[in-house]
A and B are shown apart, each in its own frame.
Chain A
Amino acid sequence: MPNTNTTTVSTAGQPSRRNTELLLLAFAVILPCFAYANVGLALDGEMPSGMLGYGMGLGLLAGVGHLVVRKFAPYADPLLLPLATVLNGLGLVIIWRLDQSKRLQASKTFAPAATNQLLFSALGIALFVAVVIFLKDHRVLQRYTYISMAVALALLISPLFFPAKFGARIWITVPGLGSLQPGEFAKIVLAVFFAGYLMVKRDALALASRRFMGMYLPRGRDLGPILAVWAFSILVLVFETDLGTSLLFFGMFIVMLYVATERTSWIVFGLLMSAAGAVGVASFETHVQQRVQAWLDPLGEFLMSKKGIGGHSEQSMQALWAFGSGGVSGTGWGQGNSDLIGFAANSDFILATVGEELGLAGLMAVVLIYGLIVERGVRTSLAARDPFGKLLAIGLAGAFAIQVFVVAGGVTGLIPLTGMTMPFMAQGGSSVIANWALIAILMKISDAARRPAPTPVSNPDAEMTQVVRP
């Protein structure tokens, strides 16, 4: 019977599962290679010339990642690396496929993105490797609680000094390097801060409260941090007009707070406050109003912007058509027209290409892969032996889940569109790099959790005492 007990220390030790990882990883590299060949055949009738380069590149990156994990985190979760690799690889293929679109090439802002994306993936895996090697024990991060806070603040405020792009002020531009989206990194740093802070304050937050109408109301002084985060996420929303990031931060904080205190009342508060904040901001922030408008009536917005009489986004409707036109089985790689969505086809709306060219089947698979990553994160949290690791893991997993939901929900029209990136798949350096780091931290925590406990120091008395078993 396999050992299913993941919570208690066991000296038996769990199988490292590194070979499972290797097998899955091989699959995760081959799958995008086939996809790549498929796109080439569909578009030009021949195998794409760069296929070997991309295939080898992805294989090499995955291989290095695997070897480093084998050496430095042998007990890490075997699924996370292959799952991230397959998403990264499929994302590369879709970006390359959209690079070939004549329609996008005709636009003024067009620049091929696949090569850069491969480069960023390499950087991401490099960061992954660095974290796996140099982060000996994730509990070290606990020491940097307040530094993390300062860094997170700096990262979040920095875009204010740079011009807005596409209606949101979430980029910083480094001359010669291109633009960076600090919010993606802030996500991880903030999780570290929250985990460290809540570790210390959890008892005060959980126990010192008054009972009121069946709910535990927190004390004013404990309410401070939650109010601060709330205010902060609102400020991000107002000044950077970044609905997604503020939702992400707030959601992550609530999740971690709830896990730390085990009090449902915090969730109720959190929801009430976010609702109040959202309504408040939406009442005067036109950017948010436009997004909501585009969500409620995508076709109307489309027609208006087509005719040039107002209307702010024709992309929402284009994305819905992309999904609908894909149907159940999709048009096939390279044979859809999701590039009609325009410049954001390979970033915010990359999921629409999945939906159109791979159909409902492909979309479900991709959503499930994201779901699996989240599930492995939650499992890591369950297995973690220390509260800090638990909190950090659930924070990262929760943030990942919220981000996927917000982006995918926005693109499919389930919720208003917010303009975040689909982790690993979407074109964008910051996102790929930051999410590889996120996976690395999760794997380190899972490694610590699944590592066999050191064998108890042998008791010299043990040899003297004979235990007679029946």
Chain B
Amino acid sequence: MNKPVRRIAIFCGLLVLALMIRGNWLQFVKADELKNDKNNMRVNIARYSQPRGNIIVDGQEITGSKEVNGINYKYKRTYKNGEMWAPVTGYSSQVYKPTLLEGVEDKILTGDDDRLFFNRTIDMITGKGKKGGDVITTLNAKAQEAAFKGLGNKKGAVAAIDPRTGKILALASTPSYDPSRIAGANDGDAWTKLNDDKNKPMLNRALRETYPPGSTFKVVTAAAALENNLYKDVDEKTNSPKGWTLPDTRNLPLPNETTMPCDNVSMRAALQWSCNSVFGKISADLGNQKMIEQANKFGFNSDDLQIPVGVSKSVYPKDNRPQNAMAGIGQASNRATPLQMAMVAAAVANNGKLMEPYMVDKLRAPNLNVIETHQPKEMSRPLSPEHAQTLQSAMETVVEEGTGTSAKIDGVKVGGKTGTAQHGVDNSGNPYAWFLSYAKKGDGSPVAVAVVIEGSNTMRDDIAGGKLAAPIAKNVMEAVLNSSK
């Protein structure tokens, strides 16, 4: 009977071996995959087992962590002035995936980033708990406040950039939400309510919504005209007669919304009074390809703009001739994010050099060592310096004595462009009021702003941008100018 017993012994040995192999498979081969599975609650538990690092603006923390000692999570994210900063911070929830800076810089904030390895090791040896690093932003609290307050209870967005570096100074979107409300483990109701809200408070309109840019796009068209030598400068008379009709159409004129004269005026005058016929014809004369090239230089049609938060693509599409002519005045099918239009203003203000926008200046380890500093980077040169300067002078005319006078700031050169974008089938939707502008001092321009306001019921003329959006832009510019003094 001993032979079968020995065989049974081998069989039992194989059973044990199978268990050991399985154990190794799970805990060695598949361990990382299981450990980091997004459905594995431990990922979140670890995330909230220590206070999260903070997002910092002007040296002040705009986020915080509260010890709640819940069953699963020890700490909860809190936000200071959450509604105002939501388009920057995003949210970090105990339940939902983090977004915007909270999402992109999650590893730094949780302390999991590889660059914090040394810190973690020291902390482990000295018996301290793991700590998260901080994200120091480029934002300007005063400018952000001006933007957020200016938007008030209107639906819209503001993006402001420092044209010299690409630093994002303000990024506001309304209606907004307080991320604190959805930070906890039991905030499902608030989450559902926010998601079901038809005003979409969680939509980041400054980065993630694209609008028809309307007349503000004429700045791009003017740049294209100059760059392609269609007209030598902004004061040359343009060959654009009254009642100009769209190409390939049977007498479909492109109407002007202004009573000011638009036939054969210079680009300066056309910008000043926002003449559709002039810029529609420029776009048609240059053709779709050249317009696309110019738009691309300003950042249109780029999938991968990361600031480091991803930005939705602004498009200037391939199109037929009449559509291309319409696109030249910011209607038809071209669309832009507020940030994109701020980039247009910034490139012009920065003498034709477009700096890559960014909102994270530094990443800081818990021991206050800086582990990464963002270096300003040139993105492209949409305009030569001479063309940029001549375009600046035209934009300044718009503010001095054109449609954008409400953005005037005493003692500072301000350039701007208004826009009222029609949208919806047969223009049935309420138009979007746009304004983009920059302020300039002796040593260059410290700020370029784009403002968009959705749904202004009352005004359907080109002045809407000037009336509704320009004052906000002015306040934002003033906030930046005052703080850089």
Question: Which of A's residues lie within 8 Å of B, judged by CB?
Answer: 7, 102-103, 106, 255, 258-260, 262, 299, 302-303, 317, 320-321, 323-328, 337, 340, 355, 359-360, 363-364, 367-368, 370-371, 374-375, 378, 381-382, 387, 390-391, 394, 397-398, 401-402, 404-405, 408-409, 412-414
In the complex, are the beta carbons of A324 and B26 less than 8 A apart?
yes
Bound state CA distance, A138 and B9, in angstroms?
A: 22
B24 at the interface (CB under 8 A from A): yes
Q: Is the CB of B26 within 8 A of A375?
A: no
Given A325-B42, A337-B42, answer yes or no on A412-B5 (Cβ-Cβ < 8 Å): no
Please name the 7 residue pairs, one residue from A and one from B, whose CB atoms are nearest each other, closest first: A324-B34, A360-B27, A371-B16, A405-B15, A401-B12, A323-B26, A378-B9
CB contact between A323 and one of B5, B20, B27, B41 (< 8 Å): that residue: B27
- Closest approach, in angstroms, between the C-beta of B23 and any C-beta of chain A? 5
Bound CA span A368–B16, Å: 8
In the complex, the chain B residue whose C-beta lies closest to that of A371 is B16
A448 vs B13: C-alpha distance when bound (angstroms): 25
B19 touches A412 (CB 8 A): yes
* Chain B 318-337 per-residue mask, 1 if CB under 8 angstroms from chain A, else 0: 00000000000000000000
B124 CB to nearest A CB, Å:
12
Chain B, 24-38, CB within 8 A of any chain A CB: 24, 26-28, 30-35, 37
Q: In the complex the two chains form, is B42's CB within 8 Å of A340's CB?
A: yes
B5 touches A381 (CB 8 A): yes
> Is B2 part of the binding interface, using a Cβ–Cβ cutoff of 8 Å?
yes
A394 and B8 contact, CB distance less than 8 A: yes
Query: Quick check: A325 and B12 within 8 Å, CB to CB?
Result: no
Question: How long is the Cα–Cα vector from A398 to B15 in the complex, in angstroms?
Answer: 11
Q: Which residue of B lies closest to A412 (CB)?
A: B22
Contacts of A390 in B (CB 8 A): 1, 5
CB distance from A187 to the nearest CB of B (A): 16
Cβ-defined contact, B12 with A355, below 8 A:
no
CA distance A413 to B35 in the complex (A): 16
Instruction: Encode B400-434 as 1/0 by CB contact (under 8 A) with A.
Output: 00000000000000000000000000000000000
> How many contacts between A and B, using CB within 8 angstroms?
136
Interchain CB contact (< 8 A) of A378 among B1, B12, B37, B45? B12
Q: In the bound complex, what is the Cα–Cα distance between A279 and B3 (angstroms)?
A: 32
Write out the residue numbers on chain B whose beta carbons fall within 8 Å of the beta carbon of A413.
Answer: 22, 26
Query: In the complex, how many angstroms separate the beta carbon of A162 from the nearest chain B beta carbon?
Result: 32
| Residue of B with least CB distance to A400 | B12
Contact B20 A321 (CB under 8 A): no
Q: Which residues of A contact B4 (CB under 8 A)?
A: 258-259, 262
Complex formed: what's the CA distance from A299 to B19 in Å? Answer: 21
Task: Verify B23–A398 contact, CB threshold 8 A.
Answer: no
Output the least CB separation between A297 and chain B (Å). Answer: 13
Distance in Å from the Cβ of B211 to the closest Cβ of chain A?
Answer: 36
Write the B354-369 contact mask toward A (1 if CB under 8 angstroms, else 0). 0000000000000000
Task: Say yes or no: is B71 at the interface (Cβ < 8 Å to chain A).
Answer: yes
Contacts of B9 in A (CB 8 A): 375, 378, 382
Query: A360 contacts which chain B residues (CB < 8 A)?
Result: 23-24, 27-28
- Contact flag A259-B26 (CB < 8 Å), given A321-B42, A324-B31, A375-B12: no
**Given contacts A324-B34, A325-B34, are A303 and B39 in contact (CB under 8 A)?**
yes
Contacts of A359 in B (CB 8 A): 27
Given A303-B39, A409-B18: 13 more A-B contacts, CB < 8 Å:
A324-B27, A324-B30, A325-B35, A327-B31, A328-B31, A337-B41, A340-B42, A355-B23, A394-B5, A402-B15, A404-B16, A412-B23, A414-B19
In whole angstroms, what is the CA distance A448 to B15 when docked? 28
Instruction: Please pick, from B19, B23, B34, the residue contacting A321 in the complex, using a CB distance under 8 A.
Output: B34
Contact for B12 among A363, A374, A391, CB less than 8 A: A374
Q: How far is the CA of A409 from the CA of B34 in the complex (A)?
A: 18
Could you jot down 25 A-B contacts, CB within 8 Å?
A106-B71, A255-B11, A259-B1, A262-B4, A303-B39, A323-B34, A324-B31, A324-B37, A324-B40, A325-B31, A327-B31, A337-B42, A337-B45, A359-B27, A367-B16, A367-B23, A370-B16, A371-B16, A378-B5, A378-B9, A394-B8, A397-B12, A398-B12, A405-B15, A414-B18
Residues of B within 8 A of A405 (CB): 15-16, 18-19
Chain B facing A: main interface SS = helix
From A255, A326, A340, A394, give the contact of B27 (CB < 8 A): A326
Is A102 in contact with B71, judged by CB distance below 8 angstroms? yes
- Could you tell me the distance in whole angstroms from the C-beta of B4 to the nearest C-beta in chain A? 4
Determine how close the nearest CB of chain B comes to the CB of A298; give it in whole angstroms.
11
B198 within 8 A of A: no
Q: Which residues of the partner chain B approach A302 to less than 8 Å between Cβ atoms?
A: 39
The answer to whether the Cβ of B289 comes within 8 Å of any Cβ in the partner chain is no
Seen from chain B, the residues whose Cβ lies within 8 Å of a Cβ on chain A are 1-9, 11-13, 15-16, 18-20, 22-24, 26-28, 30-35, 37, 39-42, 45, 71-72
Pairwise interchain contact A414-B22, C-beta atoms closer than 8 A: yes
* Smallest CB separation, A321 vs chain B (Å): 4
| CA gap between A320 and B22 in the complex, in Å | 11
Give the CA-CA distance A382 to B7 in the complex, in Å.
11
Q: What chain B residues lie within 8 Å of A326 (beta carbons)? A: 27, 31
Q: How far is the CB of B173 from chain A (nearest CB, A)?
A: 31
Once the chains bind, are B8 and A398 in contact (CB under 8 Å)? yes
**CB-based contact B2/A7 at 8 Å:** yes
A262 CA / B7 CA spacing, docked (Å): 10
- Contact B23–A323 (Cβ < 8 Å): yes
A162 to B365, CA, bound (A): 61
A258 to B19, CA, bound (A): 24
Which single member of B15, B35, B40 contacts A401 (CB below 8 Å)? B15
Task: Report yes or no: A103 in contact with B71, Cβ–Cβ below 8 A.
Answer: yes
A426 to chain B, nearest CB (A): 16
By the criterion CB–CB under 8 Å, are A355 and B26 in contact?
yes
Partner of B26, one of A391, A394, A412: A412
User: Taking A321-B42, A398-B12, A414-B22 as contacts, is the C-beta distance between A363 and B27 under 8 angstroms?
Assistant: yes
A365 to chain B, nearest CB (A): 11
Q: How far is the CA of A371 from the CA of B15 in the complex (A)?
A: 9
Q: Name the residue of chain B whose CB is nearest to the CB of A321.
A: B40
- Chain A positions within 8 Å of B30 at CB level: 324
Smallest CB separation, B1 vs chain A (Å):
5
Q: Chain A residues with Cβ under 8 A from B16's Cβ? A: 367-368, 370-371, 374, 401, 404-405
Q: A139: shortest Cβ distance to chain B, in Å?
A: 16
Question: What is the minimal beta-carbon distance from B314 to any residue of chain A, in angstroms?
Answer: 37
C-alpha gap A262/B20 in the complex (Å)? 29
B24 touches A259 (CB 8 A): no
A371: chain B residues within 8 A (beta carbon): 12-13, 16
Nearest CB on A from B305, distance (A): 34
The closest CB in chain B to the CB of A302 belongs to B39
Residues in chain A near residue B34, CB distance under 8 A? 320-321, 323-325
Residue of B with least CB distance to A326: B27
CB B74 to nearest CB in A, in angstroms, measures: 11
Tell me the bound Cα distance from A391 to B28 in angstroms: 39
